[in-house]
Amino acid sequence: MLDDDLTDLPPILHGAPDSTEFRKLRKRIIRETRAAIDQYGMIQPGTRWLVCLSGGKDSYTLLAALIELQWRGLLPVELLACNLDQGQPGFPATVLPEFLTRMQIPHRIEYQDTYSIVMDKVPAGRTYCALCSRLRRGNLYRIAREEGCSAVVLGHHRDDLLETFFMNLFHGGRLATMPPKLVNEDGDLFVYRPLAFVAEEDCERFSRAMAYPIIPCDLCGSQEGLQRMQVKALLDEWEKRTPGRRNVMFRALMNIRPSHMPDPALFDFLALATAPKAENPDTPPDLSGM
């Protein structure tokens, strides 16, 4: 249970609206973040986490939630906020350093011009996301190693996981999404998504209410017809017609029955056999062989 005694709060939580609606929102985010951390076994006491901060609503919500859990004594790890400035034209490079310094949050700002690489390598009309993400991920892993971190912590929320599932379903020919916890390909770092149970709408409402300085992503967001945007629009329409459908679909991702899916790699259909028929006690024994 989370009480309402919020005295001596960390600076990132100062200025929170004093309304019942906002208190319920904050408690829900903290409760769901803590649930994901506990359910997927993310905590190794005394370790250090690299918390990736893009300047978007999701990463601000992630950072605030983790700091509150740490402040409450429920997250016994060290947090290091990190922003990777990828050299996008017009990116407000001073916003995050000034914010993190003002909030007294340990941080590292890294500049790597991956933008020029993406623009050079990706043909016109194609999406930038795959290469951009790969370059960003490689740099974040490097920074985590340099800083002695055991985990890279990302701000993907419930809706990101759902959208990725449907993108894989519609375009990738597989049932997969972004897991809340995984180990990187080199096997030396965890990747955590503590907001896996948190709705995007809650991240939006929280970060706006706290007046965090939101920085939009103009690289991917400027392209029309992206697969993710199409899937997002589809999910929005479903949610509009049947409120709560996103929650139902997300619960389905946590309730998979391998024996009811046609994937022989997940279930040994060849070994299936019917149970031997029980003998009828009223049938006299066969004595012909005696």
For the segment 132-171, what is each residue's pLDDT rounded down to a tens digit? Answer: 778 889 999 999 999 999 999 999 999 999 999 999 999 8
Domains of the chain (ranges, CATH numbers): 16-255 (3.40.50.620)
Q: What is the pLDDT of residue 187?
A: 96
Q: What is the pLDDT of residue 224?
A: 39
Q: What is the pLDDT of residue 222?
A: 40
Contact 182, 191 (CB under 8 A): yes
For the segment 182-199, the average pLDDT, to the nearest whole number, is 97
Rounded percentage of the chain residues whose pLDDT exceeds 70: 89
Q: How many residues can be counted in the chain?
A: 290
Residue 4 pLDDT more than 70?
A: no
For the segment 66-91, the average pLDDT, to the nearest whole number, is 93
Shortest CA distance to 50 belongs to which of 160, 164, 139, 159? 139
Question: What tens digit of pLDDT does each residue of 201-249 get?
Answer: 999 999 999 999 999 865 554 443 478 888 999 999 999 999 999 999 9
Residue 255 pLDDT more than 60?
A: yes
Rounded percentage of the chain residues whose pLDDT exceeds 90: 73
Q: What is the pLDDT of residue 89?
A: 81
- One-letter amino acid at 211 equals A
Q: What is the pLDDT of residue 284?
A: 63
Residue 117 pLDDT more than 90?
A: no
For the segment 9-28, the average pLDDT, to the nearest whole number, is 95
Residue 72 pLDDT more than 90?
A: yes
Question: What tens digit of pLDDT does each residue of 80-92 get?
Answer: 999 998 888 888 8
Q: What is the pLDDT of residue 225?
A: 44
Q: What is the pLDDT of residue 283?
A: 62
Average pLDDT of every residue of the chain: 90
Q: CA 121 from chain center: how many Å?
A: 28
Q: Token pair of 251, please?
A: 């619960």
- Give one DSSP letter per residue of 205-272, joined into a string: HHHHHTT------HHHHT-SS-HHHHHHHHHHHHHHHSTTHHHHHHHHHT---GGGSS-TTTS-GGG-
User: Measured between alpha carbons, how far is 80 from 105 in angstroms, rounded to an integer?
Assistant: 8
Residue 16 pLDDT more than 60?
A: yes
Contact 136, 87 (CB under 8 A): no
Residue 22 pLDDT level (bands cut at 50, 70, 90): very high
Residue 103 pLDDT level (bands cut at 50, 70, 90): very high
